Amino acid sequence: MKNTFSTLFYPKRNDVNKSGEAPLYLRITINGKRCELSIKRKVELSKWDSSKELLKGKTTKNRELSIHMDNIRTRLFKLYDKLQEEDRDITAVLLKEAFLGKRKPEKMLLEIFEEHNERVNRLVGKDFSAGTAERYRTTKKHVQEYIVKEYKKNDIPVKGVDHQFITGFEYYLKTIRKCGHNTAIKYVVNFKKIIRIAYANNWIPKDPFVNYKVRLKKVEREFLSESEIQQLLDTKLHTPRLRHVRDIFIFCCFTGLAYADVKKLCTDDINKGIDGENWINTSRTKTKSKANIPILPIAQMILDKYADSPYLRKPKVLPVLTNQKMNAYLKEIAHISGISKNLTTHLARHTFATTVTLTNGVSIESVSKMLGHRNLRTTQHYAKILNRRVSEDMQMLRSKLESKNESSSKILGNNT
């Protein structure tokens, strides 16, 4: 809706002094609503021309007053235009406060978000990973697109974020952006940090997330079985790039390293352990927690294989491609190998936790330490997966035993 805006100078006729002078006021009207302010001048009531909003007569005093009034009008119109450019909801009171210098500039949502993202970018490699910075940039982009679509503005005051905005943003992510439930919630959680910053700085009177409940859906993590790992190893791959990617993936399966950690793995991270064998001693990129992992023979073979690779950049120990390329090539490898599971770099980490370690009797405490988990509860999720695996194995055992049930029944029957 287009605003209507007008100004009017007038003397207060009910406040005339003994000299016949009345204080001069300015009335600001926007969309039919008005407010007034004194311009700190007095005029002779008998000489005031209401139609022209001027004093009659061409005296020096009258010209100075006219210039003063013109300057006030000019300032008001400039302030009005500035507020319009900022997509503010302009009122007469807001314009008056801006004119008098009483109005603190409203903090705008995307401005706060951009300031936050710039700080995160400067701290990449110190307090934040490059992936975290990228996720915040993506979240800001989604919030910006949502504001344009839903509010028809380029930005809104952070005070305008309420429960309806938050639930609307979640709905937008799931419908327009086609995000899955957990992905949408993670974007909302990233956005929540920006609102918490605004609340902590008293830019908003209350936290609009108070009544918003975050509920992630439980996702069963896939992992490769022992036979699938062997299937992957036995598959003949005819291009060097696929063999290269397969080797890095297998290395992660036998070390439990996440993509970011295997990519940054350097010679200084590999040391002799208390058993005289090579160990990986590193800090996880995601959590900064320590991960100490004995290098199993197959992982050592891969390290040896690429020790003199022309693609290796010392002091790195493996020539790792970008995560995007790795995951794209892994899909191709899965297709060639006949593996139906969605091969990703992170699935290798799940495989280490389940098939390589827990299934083979390694204690959950040791697995947790090797994975660099901060608490055991994170690792216990893999134990739950194994419980399902045990159930499936027992079902296979029951099937095998069923074929023997008849003879067993006869033997038991003869003993009665």
Q: What is the CATH number of the domain that holds 336?
A: 1.10.443.10
**Residue 117 and residue 140: Cα distance in Å, rounded?**
9
Do residues 99 and 75 lie in contact, with contact meaning Cβ atoms separated by under 8 Å? Answer: yes
* CA pair distance 73, 58, nearest whole angstrom: 21
Q: Tell me the average pLDDT across 237-247.
A: 95
Residue 337 falls inside a structural domain: yes
Residue that terminates a domain, selected from 200, 218, 241: 200
How many domains, in total, are found in the chain?
Answer: 3
**What are the Cα distances from residue 51, in Å, to 33, 54, 55, 56?**
21, 8, 10, 11
Per-residue pLDDT reduced to its tens digit, 326-378: 999 999 999 999 999 999 999 999 999 999 999 888 888 999 989 988 888 87
Decide which of 86 and 97 is more confident.
Answer: 97
* Strand order from edge to edge, sheet including 33-44: 5-11, 21-30, 33-44
Q: What is the mean pLDDT of residues 305-333?
A: 93
- Going by the DSSP 8-state scheme, the letter that residue 17 receives in this structure is -
Q: Which domain holds residue 18?
A: 5-100
Between CA 383 and CA 353 the distance in angstroms is 9
3 state SS of 96: helix
Torsion of CA 288, 294, 297, 299, to 10 degrees: 0
Given a cut of 60, whether residue 256 has pLDDT beyond it is yes
Clarify whether residues 256 and 282 are in a common domain. Answer: yes
* Helices within 289-375 (DSSP H only): 297-305, 323-337, 345-351, 364-371
Please give the structure tokens belonging to residue 206: 């209350």
Of 100, 124, 139, at which residue does a domain stop? 100
Question: What is the spatial distance between Cα 38 and Cα 22, in angstroms, rounded to a whole number?
Answer: 11
Residue 138 banded pLDDT, cuts 50, 70, 90:
very high
325 vs 183: CA distance, rounded Å: 21
Residue 29, beta-bridge partner list: 6, 34
CB 3 within 8 A of CB 29: no
152-166, 290-304, 399-413: lowest mean pLDDT where?
399-413
161 lies in the same domain as 141? yes
**Structure tokens that stand for 366 in this block:** 């040791």
In the β-sheet with 290-294, what is the strand arrangement from edge to edge?
270-272, 278-283, 290-294
Are residues 85 and 118 located together in one domain of the fold? Answer: no
| Whether the Cβ atoms of residue 258 and residue 284 lie closer than 8 Å to each other | yes
Does residue 284 sit within a domain? yes
89 and 14 housed in the same domain? yes
Query: How far apart are alpha carbons 201 and 114 in whole angstroms?
Result: 16
**What does each C-alpha distance from 19 to 9, 22, 42, 224 come to in angstroms?**
20, 9, 11, 97
Together in a domain, 315 and 191: no
- Residue 40 and residue 10 in contact, taking contact as beta carbons nearer than 8 Å: no
Within this chain, do residues 259 and 337 fall inside the same structural domain, yes or no?
yes
Q: What residue type is assigned to position 76 of the chain?
A: L
Predicted local confidence at residue 384, as pLDDT: 65
Q: Kindly write down the DSSP assignment for every residue of 113-163, as one continuous string.
A: HHHHHHHHHHTBTTTB-HHHHHHHHHHHHHHHHHHHHHHSSS--BGGG--H
Amino acid 374: pLDDT: 81
Phi-psi region for residue 159, left (φ > 0), alpha (ψ -120 to 50) or beta? alpha
Asked if the structure places residue 220 within a domain, the reply is: no
The closest alpha carbon to 79, from 67, 94, 57, belongs to 94
Domain boundary among 52, 83, 100: 100
Residue 139: inside a domain? yes
Structure tokens at 85: 């450019």
Q: Does some domain include residue 75?
A: yes
**Same-domain check for residues 357 and 289:** yes
Least confident piece of the model among 170-174, 280-284, 310-314, 387-391? 387-391
d(CA 218, CA 216) in angstroms, rounded, equals 6
User: Residue 81 carries which DSSP code?
Assistant: H
Q: Is residue 405 part of a domain?
A: no
Same domain, 130 and 246: no
Say if residue 259 is in the same domain as residue 333: yes
Cα gap 416→411, rounded to integer Å: 9
Question: Is residue 70 situated within a structural domain?
Answer: yes
In a domain, 403, yes or no: no
Q: Do 23 and 138 share a domain, yes or no?
A: no
More confident residue, 294 or 128: 294
As a whole number of angstroms, the distance between CA 12 and CA 38 comes to 10
Average per-residue pLDDT in the chain? 89
In this structure, are 60 and 124 located in the same domain? Answer: no
Measured CA distances, 105 to 82, 156, 263 (Å): 11, 13, 45
Q: Which residues pair with 128 in a beta bridge?
A: 124
Regarding whether 62 and 90 lie in a shared domain, the answer is: yes
Least confident residue range of 28-37, 47-56, 309-318, 393-402: 393-402
